[in-house]
C-alpha cells in the first residue's frame, strides 16, 4: 500500500511524499483563502448595517397599525388624541412639551436625525443632507409666520428643533421681518437662495417660487450626494432620492400647467439633473400646452401609467392633488420595494423613513379633522393616505 502511494507520487513527478504533501497543503491553503475571501466580501458589506437596521426595525414595529389608527380616528376630540399618544413613549416626550402638530413633526425629525447618526459612512452624507429638510421647513414656516404677523411665541410653535440651524432658531423666531431673517441667515447656504426668491415673493405674494427655490436646493444637492453609487446600497439610495426629485419636478410642471405658466416661468425651479426624466425630457414637458400634454409626454416612463390613472380624477375635480398623491405614493412604493429587496443593507432605513412620514402625515390629517367640526370617523379614514 505504502509502496503503491510512493510510486504514484513519484509517477506524478514529485521527488518524495513530503514534497507531494507540501504541494497539497499549499493547494488547500489557497483554496481556503479563496473561500474565506469570497465569503467575507458580502458579509463585510452587510456588517455595518446590522446595528442601524435593528434599531430602525424596532421603530418600524412601533409604527401605528390599522387598528391603532382606527382607535385614534374614533377619539372624541383633540384631547383624546393627545391622551392616546401619551401612551406611547416615542410621542409622550413631545406631547406635553409642544403643540400637537409640532410634537408630531419633532418626533419625525428625531427619526431622521437618528438615521443620519447611525447610518454607515457610505450613506451618511445623503442622510445628513436630508436633515436640511427641517431647516428648509423651518425657514418657510418662519417667513410665512412673519408675513402673517405672528409673534415670537406663535412662530416658535411652528418650528422644529432639528437641522443645522438650531443655534439660529431663536434669533430667526425673534426676527421682526423678512430682512432680519435674511440678516440672521447671512453666511449660511440659505442666504443666497432667499436673497433671490424673497423679492419675488414680496412682489407677488405667491409662496410657490420661494418654496420651490428652497426645495430645489435640497433635492438638487441631495441627488448630488448619491450621484456616484459605490455599491448596491448607495445605488438603492440614488433610486429613492431620484424618485423624490422626479416627483418634485413633475409636481411643479403639473401645477404650472394648471396655472397656465410658461416654460420660462418654471424653468428656474426645475432640478435639471432629473433621475428618470432627464433634462431634455423635462424641457419637452415644460413646453407642453396643458396637463394632458404633460401626461402624454411621459409615455414610456414609469410615471405614465400612475399619472394616467390620476388624470381621470383631475378631469372630474380640476384639482392636481390626485397627481400629487400618485407621485407621493410612487415614492412610498419605491421605498417599500427597496426595503424588501435590500433587507440586509439600506432597505430598512429607507422603508422606515418613508413609513414614518406616512404615519405622521396621517396623524396630522386626523388632528386637523378633529379641530374642524363635522368630520365623521368614516370621512377621516377616507382622507388618510
Partner 1 sequence: MVEVALGTALAAIGAGLAVGFAGLGSGLGQGIAAAGSVGAVAEDEDMFARGIIFTALPETQAIYGFLIAILLMVFTIMANKALPASLGLVAIGAGAAIGFAGLGSGMGQGITASSSVGAVVENEDMFARGIIFTALPETQAIYGFLIAILLMVFGGILG
Q: Which residues bind partner 1 (CB under 8 A)?
A: 5, 17-18, 21, 25, 28, 32, 35-36, 39-40, 43, 46-47, 50-55, 57-61, 118, 343-344, 348
CB 222 within 8 A of CB 167: no
Set of cell numbers at residue 20: 507531494
What are the CA-CA distances from residue 357 to residues 35, 77, 198, 329 (Å)? Answer: 43, 23, 29, 12
Residue 250 Cβ, how far from partner 1 at the closest point, in Å?
33
List of long-range contacts for 218-225, beta carbons under 8 Å, 24+ apart: 218/129, 218/132, 218/133, 218/136, 219/244, 219/245, 219/248, 219/271, 220/245, 220/271, 220/273, 221/129, 222/126, 222/129, 222/130, 223/271, 223/273, 223/275, 224/273, 225/125, 225/126, 225/129
In sequence order, what DSSP letters do the residues of 78-137 get, joined into one string? Answer: HHHHHHHHHTSHHHHHHHTTS-HHHHHHHHHHHHHHHHHHHS-HHHHHHHHHHTHHHHHH
Tell the smallest beta-carbon distance from residue 61 to partner 1 (Å): 3
How far apart CA 317 and CA 294 sit, in angstroms, is: 18
* Choice between 120 and 209, CB closer to partner 1: 120
- Helix axis angle for 17-61 and 2-11, nearest 10°, is 90
Q: Kindly tell me which of 118 and 291 has the beta carbon lying closer to partner 1.
A: 118
In the bound state with partner 1, the residue whose beta carbon lies nearer, of 55 and 337, is: 55
| CB of 22 or CB of 292, closer to partner 1 | 22
| C-alpha span between 298 and 284 (Å, rounded) | 10
Minimum CB distance to partner 1, residue 204 (Å): 47
Taking the complex as a whole, the smallest distance from the CB of residue 30 to partner 1 amounts, in Å, to 13
- The rounded distance, in Å, linking the Cα atoms of 301 and 298 is 6
- Min CB(89)–partner 1 separation in Å: 10
Q: Which is nearer to partner 1, 31 or 280 (CB)?
A: 31
Give whichever of 39 and 325 is closer to partner 1, judged by the CB atom. 39
CB of 335 to partner 1, least distance (A): 16
User: Is the Cβ of residue 2 or residue 148 nearer to partner 1 in the bound state?
Assistant: 2
- We find the least distance from the C-beta atom of residue 345 to partner 1, in angstroms, to be 12
Amino acid at each position: 500500500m505504502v509502496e503503491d502511494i510512493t510510486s504514484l507520487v513519484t509517477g506524478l513527478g514529485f521527488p518524495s511524499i513530503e514534497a507531494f504533501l507540501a504541494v497539497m497543503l499549499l493547494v488547500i491553503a489557497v483554496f481556503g483563502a479563496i473561500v474565506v475571501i469570497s465569503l467575507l466580501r458580502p458579509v463585510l458589506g452587510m456588517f455595518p448595517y446590522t446595528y442601524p437596521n435593528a434599531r430602525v426595525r424596532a421603530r418600524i414595529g412601533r409604527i401605528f397599525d390599522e387598528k391603532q389608527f382606527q382607535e385614534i380616528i374614533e377619539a372624541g376630540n383633540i384631547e383624546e388624541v393627545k391622551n392616546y399618544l401619551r401612551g406611547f413613549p416615542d410621542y409622550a416626550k413631545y406631547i406635553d412639551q409642544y403643540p400637537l402638530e409640532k410634537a408630531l413633526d419633532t418626533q419625525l425629525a428625531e427619526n431622521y436625525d437618528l438615521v443620519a447618526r447611525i447610518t454607515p459612512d457610505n450613506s451618511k452624507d445623503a442622510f445628513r443632507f436630508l436633515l436640511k429638510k427641517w431647516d428648509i421647513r423651518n425657514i418657510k414656516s418662519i417667513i410665512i409666520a412673519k408675513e402673517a404677523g405672528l409673534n415670537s411665541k406663535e412662530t416658535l410653535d411652528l418650528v422644529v428643533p432639528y437641522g443645522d440651524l438650531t443655534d439660529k432658531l431663536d434669533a430667526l423666531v425673534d426676527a421682526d421681518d423678512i430682512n432680519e431673517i435674511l440678516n440672521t441667515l447671512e453666511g449660511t447656504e440659505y442666504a443666497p437662495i432667499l436673497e433671490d426668491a424673497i423679492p419675488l415673493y414680496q412682489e407677488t405674494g405667491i409662496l410657490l417660487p420661494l418654496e420651490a427655490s428652497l426645495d430645489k436646493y435640497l433635492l438638487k444637492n441631495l441627488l448630488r450626494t448619491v450621484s456616484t453609487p459605490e455599491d448596491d446600497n448607495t445605488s438603492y439610495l440614488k433610486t429613492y432620492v431620484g424618485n423624490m426629485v422626479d416627483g418634485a419636478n413633475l409636481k411643479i410642471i403639473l401645477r404650472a400647467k394648471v396655472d397656465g405658466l410658461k416654460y420660462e416661468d418654471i424653468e428656474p425651479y426645475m432640478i435639471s439633473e432629473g433621475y428618470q426624466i432627464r433634462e431634455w425630457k423635462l424641457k419637452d414637458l415644460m413646453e407642453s400646452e396643458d396637463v394632458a400634454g404633460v401626461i402624454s409626454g411621459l409615455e414610456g416612463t414609469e410615471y405614465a401609467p400612475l399619472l394616467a390613472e390620476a388624470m381621470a380624477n383631475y378631469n372630474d375635480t380640476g384639482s392636481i392633488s390626485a397627481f400629487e398623491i400618485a407621485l407621493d405614493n410612487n415614492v412610498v412604493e419605491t421605498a417599500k420595494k427597496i426595503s424588501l429587496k435590500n433587507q440586509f443593507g439600506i432597505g430598512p432605513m429607507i422603508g422606515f423613513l418613508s413609513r414614518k412620514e406616512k404615519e405622521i402625515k396621517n396623524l396630522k390629517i386626523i388632528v386637523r379633522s378633529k379641530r374642524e367640526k363635522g368630520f365623521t370617523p368614516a370621512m377621516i379614514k377616507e382622507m388618510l393616505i
